[in-house]
Structure 1
Amino acid sequence: MQRIVLFSGGTACRAINIALARKQVHLTRVVPAWDSGGSSKLIREKLGILSVGDIRQALMTMAHGERRSGDVVRIFNTRISALGEPGDARTEFQLYAEGRHLLLERMEPGLRGAILNYLRTFATAAGPDFDFRNGSIGNFILTGACIAHNGDVNTAIFVFRKLCGIDGNVWPSSLDSDLILSGRLRNGARRAPQDVLTKLSEADAAIGIEGIELTSESGKKPAANNAVIEAVEAADVVVFGPGSFYTSILPHLLVGGVAEAVERARCPLLFVGNILQCRETLGMTLNDVLDRFLCTWRNVSTTQSAPLVQVLANRVLLPFGRSLGAFPYLTAHAETQDAGTGYDLIEDEFEDAWNRGQHDGDLVAERILALAG
Structure 2
Amino acid sequence: MANVTRRLIIPDSVRIHRYQSLPELAPSVLFFSGGSALNKISRELKRYTHHSIHMVTPFDSGGSSAKLRQAFNMPAVGDLRSRIMALADETVLGQPDVFELFRYRLCDDASPAQLAQELAQLADGSHVLMQPVVAPMKALIKTQLVRLCKHLPEDFDLRGASVGNLIIAGGYLGHQQLLDPIVFLFSRLVKTLGQVTTIVDDTHHLGVRLQSGDVILGQHLITGKEHAPLAQPISEIWLNQGLEEERPVSAYLPEDRRHSIEQADLICYPPGSFFTSLMANLLVSGVAQAVILNPNPKIYLPNLGVDPEQLGWTLMARIEYMLVKLLGSPTVNLHTPVLNWVLLDQDYDYGELDMATLAKWGVSVVKTPLIKDKPERYDECLVAEALLSFA
TM-score scaled by structure 2? 0.84
- The aligned residue for residue 279 of structure 1 is 308
> What is the deviation of 1:310?
0.7
**What does residue range 1-373 of structure 1 map to in structure 2 within 5 Å?**
1=25, 2-63=27-88, 68=94, 70-177=96-203, 179-199=204-224, 204-205=230-231, 207-217=232-242, 220-299=249-328, 306-316=337-347, 330-333=350-353, 335=355, 339-353=359-373, 356-372=375-391
The farther-off stretch of 94-103 and 194-203 is 194-203
Q: Distance in 1 between matches of 2:174 and 2:193?
A: 23
Q: Distance in 2 between matches of 1:65 and 1:309?
A: 34
> What is the deviation of 1:69?
5.7
Q: Deviations over 1:305-363 (max 9, x none)?
A: 5434311123445xxxxxxxxxxx64342626763134211123322426x34211111
Q: Distance in 1 between matches of 2:318 and 2:159?
A: 38
> What is the deviation of 1:97?
1.3
Structure 1: tracts of 5 or more residues without a match: 318-328
Distance 1:285 1:261, change over 3 A: same
**What one-letter code is carried by the residue in structure 1 that aligns with 2:224?**
K
The farther-off stretch of 99-108 and 292-301 is 292-301
Distance 1:72 1:110, change over 3 A: same
> What is the deviation of 1:76?
0.3
Give percent identity, aligned residues only: 27
- The aligned residue for residue 323 of structure 1 is none
Q: Distance in 1 between matches of 2:229 and 2:123?
A: 45
Q: Distance in 1 between matches of 2:352 and 2:96?
A: 43
Q: Distance in 1 between matches of 2:376 and 2:206?
A: 26
Q: Distance in 1 between matches of 2:164 and 2:154?
A: 20
Q: Which has the higher strand share?
A: 1
8 Å contact from structure 2 (residues 239, 249) kept in 1: no
Structure 2: tracts of 5 or more residues without a match: 1-24
Distance 1:215 1:289, change over 3 A: same
**What one-letter code is carried by the residue in structure 2 that aligns with 1:72?**
V
**What one-letter code is carried by the residue in structure 1 that aligns with 2:342?**
V
8 Å contact from structure 1 (residues 104, 112) kept in 2: yes
Distance 1:92 1:336, change over 3 A: farther
8 Å contact from structure 1 (residues 172, 225) kept in 2: no
> What is the deviation of 1:118?
0.5
Q: Distance in 2 between matches of 1:153 and 1:6?
A: 19
The farther-off stretch of 61-70 and 356-365 is 61-70
8 Å contact from structure 1 (residues 245, 281) kept in 2: yes
Q: Distance in 2 between matches of 1:183 and 1:94?
A: 40
What is the DSSP-based 3-state SS (H/G/I as helix, E as strand, rest coil) of the residue aligned with 1:347?
strand
Distance 1:51 1:202, change over 3 A: closer
The farther-off stretch of 121-130 and 252-261 is 121-130
- The aligned residue for residue 326 of structure 1 is none
The farther-off stretch of 71-80 and 185-194 is 185-194
8 Å contact from structure 2 (residues 95, 189) kept in 1: no
Distance 1:219 1:293, change over 3 A: closer
8 Å contact from structure 2 (residues 28, 49) kept in 1: no
Distance 1:202 1:148, change over 3 A: closer
Q: Distance in 1 between matches of 2:380 and 2:122?
A: 35
Q: Distance in 2 between matches of 1:163 and 1:185?
A: 43
Distance 1:40 1:86, change over 3 A: same
Q: Deviations over 1:36-95 (max 9, x none)?
A: 111111111111111111110110111167784610010000001111332222122122
- The aligned residue for residue 324 of structure 1 is none
Q: Distance in 1 between matches of 2:262 and 2:212?
A: 39
What is the DSSP-based 3-state SS (H/G/I as helix, E as strand, rest coil) of the residue aligned with 1:143?
helix
> What is the deviation of 1:290?
0.9
Distance 1:338 1:162, change over 3 A: closer
> What is the deviation of 1:181?
0.5
8 Å contact from structure 2 (residues 125, 142) kept in 1: yes
Q: Deviations over 1:153-174 (max 9, x none)?
A: 1111100011112231101011
TM-score scaled by structure 1? 0.88
Q: Distance in 2 between matches of 1:12 and 1:358?
A: 11
